[in-house]
Copies of this chain bind each other. A is one copy, B any other.
């Protein structure tokens, strides 16, 4: 699969895909005879994983460390699991914080809606008086 299609499929620009490869976030992708990237299934799975993690805000640096460990084989399983655990922890905390903010927003929106209703009632009142 060529880079344009991968870009399409995951909503990541070709520039970003090449950038990820350059910095070692995605292992080097196979090329065809003329040096053009041809993503295989493994590449696609890796891209999808990175897309998922990045969309939740996991830092590139941490992900590079993780994929480096993956490439070093089974003796790094403990280290990898620790990275994932730590990131899971941070992510859960961020979700909770965002949920709090969501509640605050909901409350504020509600207040604004009441304010609008109140103003509308007042306007009607003025019209009533006007009639």
Binding site for B on A (CB under 8 A): 49, 52-53, 55-58, 74, 77-78, 80-81, 84-85, 87-88, 91-92, 94-95, 97-102, 104-106, 108-109, 112-113, 115-116, 119
Contact assessment for B116 and A78 in the assembled complex, using a CB-CB cutoff below 8 Å: yes
Contact assessment for B84 and A108 in the assembled complex, using a CB-CB cutoff below 8 Å: yes
Most buried by B among A104, A105, A106, A112: A105
Copies in the complex: 2
Contact assessment for B115 and A87 in the assembled complex, using a CB-CB cutoff below 8 Å: no
Which B residues touch A119, using CB under 8 A? 74, 77
Nearest residue in B to A58 (C-beta to C-beta)? B101
Q: How far is the CA of A81 from the CA of B107 in the complex (A)?
A: 11
Which B residues touch A88, using CB under 8 A? 102, 105-106, 109
Contact assessment for A100 and B57 in the assembled complex, using a CB-CB cutoff below 8 Å: no
Partner of A81, one of B74, B92, B101, B109: B109
